[in-house]
Structure 1
Amino acid sequence: MTQPPAAMPYPPPPPPPNGRWQPERVDPLPGTEFGLVQLRVEPITSGLAIGSLLAGIGSILVSTLVLCFGIIGASGGWGGWVGGAFTVLSVLAGAGAVIVGIVARRQIRRSGQVGQVRFTGAGLGMAGIICGSSGAGIALLSLTLTLVLQLSS
């Protein structure tokens, strides 16, 4: 039968001056003057989620180049080539944003167990997925519009 932990005869030590490490729990070690301190670890925003959002925003920005160059160059005959090149870039960035966003949301969902860092940023991951798929879709629709304009002139 285990005994409940005895009260510590002294208060826990103060945290370091920077204040990042706050003790969450202090368990005294019976028969000694020592205690086991469990520190509170602050949650960390997932870098994968941030990267997913940045790639998704980049995909949207590149998809606007597809539209701009496609419309400008449609009458000259070069709009489809330039728009196609930027479409490939936008679709690759968008697909990367979607894949990394899914991985980030899985990482966030699985984090926070005992002894592990807790990640936050599920909304950032979802925004990256949405922006990436939107950017790729806008680029493909812009290329279609460019090719229709180019072939009709």
Structure 2
Amino acid sequence: MTYSGYPAPQAPPPPPEDGRWQPARVDPVPGTEYGLVQIQVRPVVSGLATGSMIAGIGSILVSLLVLCFGSAGSSAGWGGWVAGAFTVLAVLLGGGAMAVGYTAMRQIRRSGREGKLRFVGWGQAMAGLACGGTGVGIAVLALGFSLLVQVS
């Protein structure tokens, strides 16, 4: 049977067996027999949180290079220069990790409201903040140590 020249409306297909999507609710469209299906969307891990954690770990690794090159080159006189160059890189990475981690925490806190995507990854954002700050601290202390050893 047709309805005004079009096929009769049918029920939506059942969701896939693997549960990729599930209807959250069905809002009826006034004056028709149709409805608007709101799909339930799973939470997504924040890319900012992941990037913050990766940059923070990179900051710690570069700060260890500051310590290694600063102590290895202190007797030859080039340790302070190389350690200073790597300190700049470690501080930039660590500062970026802390800024992006803070932004990710704001993004996660504000997400999930009605009609918005919900982000997760609070722990990754915190790890990015902690690793970024640790990397900056180690780099600055290692630079001070390498300059102190080079002078004496």
* TM-score range relative to shorter protein: 0.7 to 0.9
Aligned residue number for residue 85 of structure 2: 85
Greater alpha carbon shift after TM alignment, 35-44 vs 85-94:
35-44
1:32 offset after TM fit, Å? 3.1
Give the distance between the partners of 2:15 and 2:32, measured in 1 at CA.
Answer: 22
Aligned residue number for residue 49 of structure 2: 49
Aligned residue number for residue 119 of structure 2: 119
Q: Structure 1: where are the runs of 5+ without partners?
A: 1-9
Q: Structure 2: where are the runs of 5+ without partners?
A: 1-9
Number of residue pairs the alignment of both structures matches: 143
**TM-score in terms of structure 2 length:** 0.88
Give the distance between the partners of 1:45 and 1:94, measured in 2 at CA.
Answer: 21
Matched, 1:70 2:64: no
In the alignment, residue 129 of structure 1 is paired with which amino acid?
Answer: L
Q: CA RMSD in A?
A: 1.7
Aligned residue number for residue 22 of structure 1: 22
Give the distance between the partners of 1:30 and 1:137, measured in 2 at CA.
Answer: 62
Q: In percent, how many aligned pairs have the same letter? A: 65
In the alignment, residue 39 of structure 2 is paired with which amino acid?
Answer: L
Contact 1:12 1:26 in 2 (8 A): no
Matched, 1:138 2:126: no
Aligned residue number for residue 4 of structure 2: none
Give the distance between the partners of 2:59 and 2:118, measured in 1 at CA.
Answer: 29
1:53 offset after TM fit, Å? 0.4
In the alignment, residue 100 of structure 2 is paired with which amino acid?
Answer: V
Give the distance between the partners of 1:18 and 1:82, measured in 2 at CA.
Answer: 54
State the SS of the aligned residue for 1:109. helix
**TM-score in terms of structure 1 length:** 0.87
In the alignment, residue 138 of structure 2 is paired with which amino acid?
Answer: I
